[in-house]
Amino acid sequence: MEPRLCAFHEVFRSPVRNVDPSLPLAGVPIAVKRGERRSHREALTALGCVPIGLTTTPDGSTPWQTWGRNSRGVTRNPWNPDRTPGGSSAGSAVAVAAGVVPLATGVDGAGSIRIPAAWCGVLGLKTTSSERAAVGVFTRDVDLLATYLGVSGTGEPTAVWSNDLGFAEVDDEQVEIAWRAAAPLRPRPVPLVLRDPAEDWYAHRCGPNPALDELFETTDLLLTPATPGPPHGHDGPGARVNTALTWAFNLSGHPAISIPAGFDSAGLPVGLQAVARHGREADLVAAARAVLGTTSPPLASIG
Please list the active-site residues.
33, 88, 112
Report how far residue 80's alpha carbon sits from residue 232's, in angstroms, rounded to the nearest whole number.
10
CA 83 to chain centre: 17
CA dihedral 207, 138, 146, 48 (to 10 degrees): -110
Nearest to 93 by CA among 106, 108, 80: 106
